[in-house]
Amino acid sequence: MNHSCMLGCKPPTPDLKVPTNEALTLPPQERSRSGTIRGMSERVIPLVDQRHPSLPLPAHVVGQNLNALPRDGLRRPLTDLRISVTDRCNFRCNYCMPKEIFDKDYAYLPHSHLLSFEEITRLASVFVGRGVRKIRLTGGEPLLRKNIEILIAQLAALRSPDGQPLDLTLTTNGSLLARKAQSLKDAGLQRVTVSLDGLDDTVFRKMNDVDFPVADVLAGIEAARAAGLGPIKVNMVVKRGTNEHEILPMARHFRGTGIVLRFIEYMDVGATNGWCMDEVLPSADVIRLLQTELPLVALSPSASGETAERWGYANDQGQHDRALGEIGVISSVTHAFCGDCNRARLSTEGRLYLCLFASQGYDLRQLLRDPAQSDAAIAATLDAIWQGRTDQYSLLRSLRAPDTASGPGRRVEMSYIGG
């Protein structure tokens, strides 16, 4: 992992405080499992965020009126729930699960800590009652969760209070998609987003860091298309100095296919990837590069709270040519979109995080496993949690110096709460 930075940013980890002595007081054999990189024994990395104590659940008023849907402290509704179904992955993308840390000794969650499919579905149904209309399964690699089709079928059966099915989707690295696309579709999944950071096999193998070939992911995308899991989106994380030369080949490859390619700025999420601003290629530069060969026109957002800024491929008259399709840029670093952020994230073990950059979540599993908690009581607690939300990490970070990474605190890993 390259931690050096031309702007002189420090890797985020040493700046972070371990808030309790938990990692330090563990016996030596446990210490590497909880975060000391072997061979760098002086450096304790607070990476097992799920051990961080959860936030106290807010009190709610018994018999509270659940008619009005909750708005958070910045008047944002809750419409989008991302559910992480596993913290494990078969890739080691160095911007997400660097090999040096997520090694064979890494302490993943034991199975008993995971929410069962029935618990996830119950909670999802409560969320749907409080305004959620879109559910995205994520991870880790969600297709590694055994019998994921059963969960998908349960979630696909949920209906909004006015009887509408949910927008049910899943983000995957695509490695198992060729095998699973049809069974996912049959179970009721509507569409998929596939992560793919380049077409050059050498670059891709290096970025996934497990030598996984690009051809197999492309076959997965093809299988998803054949199974009708569209519209398909492809996410490409762009790291300056690593894969920016893949931007044009990726655009050429997916242009005119109906697949929407989205370029994501490399984010300072988590505490282990050694994020540095000089490895971020701003979306504005991506657009500029694309325009040198493939003219684009700006499109309006298709939905409120959309993370991607949309651009359409233009025809000779400078108008959007629908047959050529569109791309998106997700500018989490250079152009924060907290203002209408309507997303909550549920971790594999049932903690609710109100922001991708949060360091603590609310333990909903204890509510689910408490026989005294009715669905209405859980709904009232959700409302109280959401109403107390004021998160706008990216926006606040953008007000700081551009080459500074994280603020204080230890943030959860993306592989734990999902992208």
**Nearest to ligand SAM of 23, 93 (CB atom):** 93
Determine the Cα–Cα distance for residues 141 and 137; give it in Å rounded to an integer: 9
83 binds ligand SAM (CB under 6 A): no
Give yes or no for a cis peptide into 231 (omega within 30° of 0).
yes
Least separation, in Å, of the C-beta of 171 and ligand SAM? Answer: 4
Least separation, in Å, of the C-beta of 143 and ligand SAM? Answer: 8
> Interface mask (CB under 6 A) for ligand SAM, residues 198-237, using x and -?
-------------------------------------x-x
Question: Phi/psi of residue 204, each to 5°?
Answer: -65, -45
* Residue of the chain from 16, 23, 89, 405 that contacts ligand SF4 (CB under 6 A): 89
Single-letter amino acid, residue 55: L
Q: Which stretch binds ligand SF4 (CB under 6 A): 63-71, 122-130, 250-258, 388-396?
A: 388-396
356 binds ligand SF4 (CB under 6 A): yes
**Nearest to ligand SAM of 260, 368 (CB atom):** 260
**Nearest to ligand SAM of 198, 418 (CB atom):** 418
89 binds ligand SAM (CB under 6 A): yes
Q: Which stretch binds ligand SF4 (CB under 6 A): 19-27, 134-142, 288-296, 316-324?
A: 134-142
246 binds ligand SAM (CB under 6 A): no
139 binds ligand SF4 (CB under 6 A): yes
Q: Which stretch binds ligand SAM (CB under 6 A): 153-161, 177-185, 248-256, 263-271?
A: 263-271
392 binds ligand SF4 (CB under 6 A): yes
97 binds ligand SF4 (CB under 6 A): yes
Least separation, in Å, of the C-beta of 362 and ligand SF4? Answer: 15
* Residue of the chain from 9, 44, 45, 96 that contacts ligand SF4 (CB under 6 A): 96
Q: Which stretch binds ligand SAM (CB under 6 A): 47-55, 170-178, 288-296, 298-306?
A: 170-178
Residue at shortest CB range from ligand SAM: 419
Determine the Cα–Cα distance for residues 16 and 33; give it in Å rounded to an integer: 18
79 binds ligand SF4 (CB under 6 A): no
416 binds ligand SF4 (CB under 6 A): no
Q: What's the 3-state SS for the chain?
A: CCCCCCCCCCCHHHHCCCCCCHHHHCCHHHHHHHCECCCCCCCECCCCHHHCCCECCCCCCCCCCCCCCCECCCCCECCEEEEECCCCCCCCCCCCCCCCCCCCCCCCCCHHHCCCHHHHHHHHHHHHHCCCCEEEEECCCHHHCCCHHHHHHHHHCCECCCCCECEEEEEECCCCHHHHHHHHHHHCCCEEEEECCCCCHHHHHHHHCCCCCHHHHHHHHHHHHHHCCCCCEEEEEEECCCCHHHHHHHHHHHCCCCCEEEEEECCCCCCCCCCCHHHECCHHHHHHHHHCCCCEEECCCCCCCCCCEEEEEECCCCCECCCCCEEEEECCCCCCCHHHCCEEEECCCCEEECCCCCCCCEECHHHHCCCCCCHHHHHHHHHHHHHCCCCCHHHHHHCCCCCCCCCCCCCCCHHHHCC
With CB under 5 to 8 Å by kind, the binding choice for 355 among ligand SAM, ligand SF4, none is ligand SF4
267 binds ligand SAM (CB under 6 A): yes
User: What is the binding site for ligand SF4 (CB under 6 A)?
Assistant: 89, 91-93, 96-97, 139-141, 173, 195, 337-338, 341, 343, 355-357, 391-394, 415
User: What is the binding site for ligand SAM (CB under 6 A)?
Assistant: 89, 95-96, 138-139, 141, 171-173, 195, 235, 237, 264, 266-267, 269, 273, 414-415, 418-419
